[in-house]
Structure 1
């Protein structure tokens, strides 16, 4: 529970904290509408009035969220007394709207102070009675449940309030939460972490800005990704072909040396970079091993790093525009 005497030190996004955020908006609108001449500045008056009338969202949240929770705790006063107060203010809004539609400027000028005074009086009761007692009666789980229900009604705020309770950032490496699978597992395979369909895997590999070729432990090419902008062209004919026949004679000796070093366990990686068609290409070979460190093949990755090499400093914002 929260301290009823300390209604201003509430967590961001707490329902009562949001009511106080709205209060600032309401006070500003009341101050404005009280000084506007409805005849000389009718459009300005109308704009302020329309904004002020969104206080209906505040009334609806109290009536449909806050009051029911208080009733469960045995406090029925707000449902009986304050709801009637809301209805009186609604009637004043309707009366002023009729005055506005009829361009009855004198009546608008006469009736506006009653609306202003009524809203101020309501907020005084909220701050001195309703909110402090609600904070004393209701537990945190009540407020959390209430906040979820408020999402459907909305607020007077220009932007959606901060979540409540606050969403704590957890680094992916430290996130061990077991979650319900909210996506279909049909036709998927389970990988070390996660599930993907064959189509998704193909799309992933096609989209990666890398040329990837996988050679198995028998030195046969068993896979390459079919990206749209491959550095080195490939065709389906290489599948099942011995890797030594997939490289030009001048480089095949180096490739075989790499594979032999991977097989005997003396090396796990080899890197090269070459100029190819006026682009700088980074080529890397990685040994693939199972959990027992047995050799299972080699991955060859090629990447055009010409533009990457030019990067300096930092860029933390989008540059789409």
Structure 2
């Protein structure tokens, strides 16, 4: 037996003991419990992978295909030999997966036309999506599934596509697998998704509306791709062997650096729009698109690394390597534009109300805009705000009536905090007082007014974020030294959802270790431009050791590392740094106005 063999008849505990990286793979596939303290040592000894799939409702064939893709040999009862799936007709029942689909479909005889299954209900279309995923995971190409996809999804609206993907995720299909379908959308839709504008789509045509701003940036990136990136990559492809071009190396580097600004666009989408969609029960786009955004970022980072090397040695071979990586990243970026325009933005316009769009607009300046001028100020009409308030009140009432949480509260909205808490501008602090500037917060060694406490927290030269014992973000400071943007919409949100999918397993490990008592702190440090960020997480416990939550602090320690000698007279470093930033910003603004607009 190979040392990379996964025997499905063995316990999960024994398999993870023999293959330690299997634990991470299983967690990513939807078996979250495997990471919780004690679960693997107890339940894992009695559970096999097939039993776990049955309990969780996860397709065993998808799990097997994932393991095979990671280089494992999978054996055991019910596992078919590796075979490349072919298109299969739609069955009456749920699609069982790649193996069943392959067995059910006979390869058509030479010259015979193969019928394309066409679903008539959303449920059937969802089964077709799952079937296609099994085929793609088993090695089928996009060309082998595109006819079925076009026949069933060319004329459906964005909402149904998002719901189908979300249903797959809820059923345990790994997000990485659903991302395969995300690429198929962009390749096959080619602008044919039925997204007819409705009354709710009209606000997006108003300058300053968040969707208007997203679309303006998309148009700017399309112009950048057409006018500069594509021509430069074509020039690189046409270079003669042995030739050199320092000018082209500089041009490609500039192209990449300008495209990398898309990260600002993505951050606004991920941290402002996604939270509201999740509050409306729509989780699929955030889980799938965030991962695709990261692929664009990674591709551009790789291209920039190659370009920096090519600037030192601008040979035809080096420049063509840059061009290939840049062209691939540009394709992914262009594909994401299609996904935003055809899927995400129409869905967001349907789900978000005027108050939520106002919050997205108000928080957008925290991140900024790219390749476009500062959008004009926008505010919904009083009628739209009133309708949104009535809608939220109705939803909250319905939730109270059936005993659920109910309602879609506007993130970061003002009002009474309840539970004897004192509200700050960016969160709340527990106390036995109402929220006002004169309210006193009594601590064991003194007291503050709410206004004093907030000012003190914002003056501390650290980014401070507090996450409660239920893993909800409850507070963040808002001082001058912020390293990362913090929108109001993150308040009340699961801390895991505030991080990219690729980071969520690590974040979950931090909070699980705090909760179990396995650890009391985690420390990380990363370089970002000229900054050297020192990021620390601390478990917060009461005097009896009960877990209350976690504190995150972030500090740029680069200036501290530069300190030398003694200073006994006192320096106003904070003011000097603020003036330096203001001067630097003014220079950048003047430089931006001198550059031609995209």
TM-score (structure 1 length as normaliser): 0.41
TM-score (structure 2 length as normaliser): 0.22
Structure having the larger proportion of residues in helix: 2
